[in-house]
Amino acid sequence: MSNSSWFAVRRELSPKRRLFLSLMSFGIPLLLWCLVSYVPGIWHPMVKITNPGSVSYFSDGMMLPKASFHREVERLEKEGKAPPQGVPANPVYLPAPHEVAEAFYTAFTTPPQRRDEKWLYQSLGDSISVIFLGFVISTLIGLPLGILAGTYDFFGRLTEPFVEFFRYLPAPAFGALAVAILGINEAPKIAIIFIGTFFQQVLVMANTTRKLDPSLLEAAMTLGAKRLTLLFKVVIPGVLPDLFRDMRILLGWAWTYLIVAEMIGASSGITWFITQQARYKNFDNVYAAIMMIGIIGIATDLFLAWLGRRIFPWQRGAKA
């Protein structure tokens, strides 16, 4: 295969090249992170004190800007006193990859430092349960409504104007109202996820349903199929693979709304964990928690893609 085939228009790359590029999509950001973290000449605007010397307000491990450090060194050298010593460092909000990896491991193996804190896995468990309930409730209502709106003009005209209006209303705006009605437990979080995904689900699924090949309906009607038969034997089997793919995409939106939902009087969940760790400047834990969300998200999507290929084997040729 020639080198130009890397950029062939609307032509898939070979499996080896796709795998290579997929790995590079993670490898390039990781490489940049390592360069910024481990190569002092690139970007290390701070100095980490290793020996405070004669500076009374310096201490081991203290971090300060380079200009302040060099100013103190110059002053003490002029006075003939012991200057401080330090090593180049990045700000505390940008930990090195190995520090995040350690935090990732210790978050699951060591108890929280404070009594009111939760383990990372406990916070993740709380968030996953909220996501699951919010998205399932949204899908149970949005899926049939979307199919009906995409199949029958009656349901489309009856529901879509209001749904189009409501989807522009930001879900976080309903936070205070959800707390007033549902209390301060998990229910308002679930409600925010429902509001954030339900109206999008209805429109997306209605549009997907409308894309069903009309020749299938015409052939079924020619053979004498009636309304319910068309719906359950032609429309739903014909669009289910595409609806399944829509739900995979919409599940990602649910994670986005989770972060917003857990800002509302939260005392549990992954957002609460991130907020607590940021408050005490444990930014390695913050990065570990954010990456955990990404790992869970992509693992869930890969599992659903695998499940979809087995539930709908006739769609294996389609792009997942």
Read off the pLDDT of residues 92-111 as tens digits, 9 standing for 90 and up. Answer: 899 999 999 998 888 778 77
Read off the pLDDT of residues 37-67 as tens digits, 9 standing for 90 and up. Answer: 998 788 889 999 999 988 888 888 899 999 9
Domain boundaries, the chain: 46-89, 107-315
Match 């052939």 to its residue by tokens.
Answer: 219
Selected residue with higher pLDDT from 16 and 264: 16
- Number of Cβ atoms within 10 Å of the Cβ of 3: 6
Residue 1 clears pLDDT 60, i.e. is over it: no
pTM beyond 0.75:
yes
Residue 211 clears pLDDT 90, i.e. is over it: yes
pLDDT at 182: 87
pLDDT at 106: 85
Q: What are the beta bridge partners of residue 85? A: 51
- In the CATH hierarchy, which top-level class contains the domain 107-315? mainly alpha
Selected residue with higher pLDDT from 193 and 121: 193
Q: Distance of CA 180 to CAs 189, 301, 318, Å?
A: 12, 34, 46
Read off the pLDDT of residues 168-177 as tens digits, 9 standing for 90 and up. Answer: 998 888 888 8
What average pLDDT score do residues 24-41 get? 92
Q: Amino acid letter at 134?
A: G
Q: Which two tokens stand for residue 161?
A: 């104007």
Q: Residue 90 — φ and ψ, nearest 5°?
A: -95, 165
